[in-house]
Structure 1
Amino acid sequence: MPTNPSANSETDPLRQLYKSLTGRGALPLDPDDPYYVRILQKTPEKDPILMLWQRLDWSEAESVHLLTGFRGNGKSTELRRLKALLERQSGARVFLVNMADFLLMTKPLELSDFVLSLMTALGQAVERETTLTALTHSYWERLQRFLTSEVKIEGFELDLQAADAPAKLGLRLKNEPDFKQRIQQHLRGHLSRLIADAQDYVVSLVTALRNEAGNPDLKVVLLVDSVEQIRGVGTEAGEVHDSVVDLFSGQAASLAFPLLHLVYTIPPYLLALAQNLGRTLGGHPVVSWPNVHVRSRDGAEDDAGLAIMETIIDKRHGNWRDIVPPAMLRQLAICSGGDLRDFFRLVGECVIALRTARLAAPTASLSEEMLKRVEEQLRNELLPIAEEDARWLARIHASKEASLPTTEALPALARFLDGNLIMNYLNGEPWYDVHPLLVDEIRRFLPTEGRS
Structure 2
Amino acid sequence: MNHQRANTLKAAFQACNVEPLEGADMERYYVDLSAVRKTSAIDSVSTILDFQEPADFSTILFTGHRGCGKSTELKRIQNQWEEQYHVIYLEVNEETDINDANYTDLYLIVIKQVEFELRKLGLKFDSQLLQNFESWFKDITKETEESVERSVSIEGEATLKPEAPFIAKLMVKLLAQIKGSDKQKTTIRQTLQKDLSRLKADINLLLGDAYVKLRKKFPEYKGLLIIFDNMDRVPPTIAEHLFFDYAAQLQELDCTIIYTVPISVLCSPKNPLNQFDGNPHIVPMVNIYEFERDRCHLNYNQTG
Q: TM-score range by the shorter chain?
A: 0.7 to 0.9
- The answer (yes or no) to whether the contact 1:104–1:177 under 8 Å persists in 2 is no
Distance 1:220 1:150 in 2: 28
Match of 1:331? none
Structure-2 separation of matches of 1:303 and 1:136: 58
In the alignment, structure 1 residue 177 sits paired with structure 2 residue 176: no
CA distance in 2, matches of 1:169, 1:188: 14
Match of 1:26 among 15, 18, 32: 18
Is 1:288 equivalent to 2:293 in the alignment? no
SS at match of 1:201: helix
Q: Does the CA-based 8 Å contact 1:62-1:257 persist in structure 2?
A: no
Kindly tell me: are residues 102 and 224 of structure 1, through their superposed partners in 2, closer, same or farther at Cα, counting changes over 3 Å?
A: same
Query: Would you say 1:300 and 2:299 are equivalent positions?
Result: yes
Contact 1:148 1:156 survives alignment (8 Å): no
Q: Distance in 2 between matches of 1:59 and 1:45?
A: 23
The structure carrying a bigger helix percent of its residues is 1
Aligned match of 1:114: 106
Unpaired runs of at least 5, structure 1 = 1-9, 233-240, 306-452
- Percent identity among equivalent residues? 22
Within 5 Å, which residues of 2 pair with 1:35-434? 35-40=29-34, 42=35, 46-60=39-53, 61-87=56-82, 91-107=84-100, 109-128=101-120, 130-132=121-123, 134-135=124-125, 142-152=132-142, 157=148, 162=162, 163=164, 165=169, 166-167=171-172, 169-215=174-220, 218-231=222-235, 241=237, 243-257=238-252, 259-273=254-268, 275-281=270-276, 283-297=277-291, 299-305=298-304
Between the aligned partners of 2:256 and 2:143, the Cα distance in structure 1 is 31
- Give 1:33's aligned amino acid: E
Equivalenced residues, count: 277
By relative contact order (CA 8 Å, sep 6+), the higher-ranking structure is 2
Normalization by structure 1: what TM-score? 0.54
Shift of 1:140: 6.9
Deviation at 1:81, TM superposition (A): 0.7
Task: Please tell me whether Structure 1 or Structure 2 has the larger radius of gyration of its CA atoms.
Answer: 1
Aligned to 2:157: none
- Taking the aligned partners of 1:121 and 1:101, their CA distance within structure 2 comes to 13
Residues in 2 aligned to 1:102 and 1:156: alpha-carbon distance in whole angstroms: 21
Offset at residue 131 of structure 1 (A): 2.1
Q: Distance in 2 between matches of 1:171 and 1:301?
A: 49
- What is the TM-score when the length of structure 2 is the normalising length? 0.77
Q: Which amino acid aligns with 1:47?
A: S
Please, what is the CA RMSD of the aligned residues? 3.3
Evaluate the alpha carbon distance shift between residue 105 and residue 83 of structure 1 in structure 2; reply closer, same or farther with a 3 A threshold.
same
Counterpart Cα distance in 2 of 1:75 and 1:262:
15
